[in-house]
């Protein structure tokens, strides 16, 4: 457990905030959210997303693709089309914290219900409330936009096996099954969710074969921090799977997480800030910082592994 977590355990949240510099006070809030969580709710994601920064943090041009590489695996995300009033409309790549939260929600509900049909109405609204995301026009517009983008995009995973053979798999996240209807200016809400979306069969199978449990409290604490969410999800999978320490250079970290940062020195500053927030949400994570990069140490997972 890190120094911030120890301070909270020994002195409580309020006193711990008084004992750290102003720059660390947000970390106290994140760590306290996780340490004081009594519900123990579990969220889930697909391990393929843990190895990669699967989505950009900021909006790209609608025609632009997104490619990232990790440890012997890479992903390409391509924009796609959906029908809108009889015409095909191009939707760009999903991006930012809202897209990540939606993906966590979709995957968590699919695992919980053992069904690739996911409710996007009352169940999703209740989950957003648990995430402390206030409902309203801006929230619904963002959810609407990111869900369309998730539904339209196409994924290609590339990997290299232990025997040096290379493979790839093309898939989509969503097959269909959802729409949003404009109620009109006179209505109390501009948009009304149809009740469900349907995950693609290939994606649902991959999720079931390789689920990674996450702390819902940690997701809530990091809900506005897209890179911290990526780092937390990556560590949640990577650390407990290690049987010995692993060193990662800043070059390798930049390749995996540094989309949008041309220079490693610029990326390093932002990454270290995001890493501190992710570590505050993962008390058992064991990470060492070196001049050349990071050393990942075998660590307990943030929550108990899912069982079939």
Q: Is the pLDDT of residue 173 over 70?
A: yes
Could you tell me the two tokens for 201?
């069969």
Q: Which pLDDT belongs to residue 1?
A: 58
Q: Which of 122, 273, 268, 285 is nearest to 218 (CA)?
A: 285
Residue with tokens 């920064």: 53
Could you tell me the two tokens for 140?
């619904």
* pLDDT tier at 305, thresholds 50, 70, 90: low
Q: Is the pLDDT of residue 134 over 90?
A: no
Give the tens place of pLDDT for each residue, 221-240: 999 999 999 999 999 999 99
Q: Is the pLDDT of residue 177 over 80?
A: no
With both helix axes pointing from N to C terminus, report the angle between 3-11 and 25-35 in degrees, rounded to the nearest 10: 70
Query: Would you mind telling me the total number of residues written for the chain in this entry?
Result: 308
Q: Which of 64-73, 159-168, 210-219 has the lowest mean pLDDT?
A: 159-168
Q: What is the percent of the chain where pLDDT is above 70?
A: 90
Q: Is the pLDDT of residue 2 over 70?
A: yes
Residue with tokens 């250079």: 249
Q: How far apart are CA 112 and CA 107, in angstroms?
A: 9
* pLDDT tier at 157, thresholds 50, 70, 90: confident
Task: Say what the pTM is.
Answer: 0.88
Q: How far apart are CA 99 and CA 149, in angstroms?
A: 9
Residue-averaged pLDDT of the chain: 87
pLDDT average, residue stretch 46-51 = 80
pLDDT average, residue stretch 153-168 = 81
Give Cα 253 to chain centroid, integer Å: 17
155-187 in b/e form (b: 16+ CB < 10 A) is bebebeeeeeeeeeeebbbbbebbebeeeeeee
With both helix axes pointing from N to C terminus, report the angle between 96-113 and 122-130 in degrees, rounded to the nearest 10: 120
Q: Which pLDDT belongs to residue 195?
A: 60
């Amino acid at each position: 457990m890190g120094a911030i977590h120890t301070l909270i355990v020994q002195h409580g949240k309020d006193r711990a905030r008084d004992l750290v510099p102003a720059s660390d006070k947000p970390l106290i809030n994140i760590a306290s959210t996780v340490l004081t969580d009594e519900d123990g709710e579990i969220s889930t994601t697909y391990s393929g997303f843990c190895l990669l920064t699967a989505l950009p943090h900021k909006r790209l041009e609608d025609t632009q693709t997104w490619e990232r590489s990790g440890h012997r695996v890479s992903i390409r995300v391509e924009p796609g089309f959906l029908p809108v009033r009889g015409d095909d409309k191009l939707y760009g790549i999903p991006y930012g914290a809202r897209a990540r939260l939606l993906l966590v929600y979709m995957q968590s509900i699919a695992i919980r219900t053992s069904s690739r049909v996911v409710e996007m109405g009352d169940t999703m609204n209740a989950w957003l409330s648990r995430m402390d995301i206030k409902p309203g026009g801006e929230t619904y517009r963002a959810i609407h936009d990111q869900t369309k983008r998730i539904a339209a995009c196409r994924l290609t995973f590339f990997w290299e096996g232990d025997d040096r053979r290379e493979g790839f798999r093309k898939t989509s996240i969503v097959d269909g099954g959802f729409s949003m209807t404009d109620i009109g200016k006179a209505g109390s809400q501009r948009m009304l969710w149809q009740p469900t979306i349907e995950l693609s069969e290939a994606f649902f199978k991959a999720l079931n074969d390789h689920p990674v449990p996450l702390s819902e409290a940690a997701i809530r604490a990091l809900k506005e921090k897209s890179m911290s969410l990526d780092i937390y999800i990556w560590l949640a999978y990577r650390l407990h799977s290690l049987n010995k320490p692993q060193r990662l250079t800043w070059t390798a970290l930049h390749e995996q997480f540094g989309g949008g940062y041309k220079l490693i020195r610029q990326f390093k500053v932002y990454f270290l800030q995001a890493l501190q927030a992710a570590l505050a949400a993962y008390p058992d994570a064991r990470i060492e910082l070196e001049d050349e990069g990071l050393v990942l140490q075998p660590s307990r997972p943030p929550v108990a592994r899912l069982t079939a």
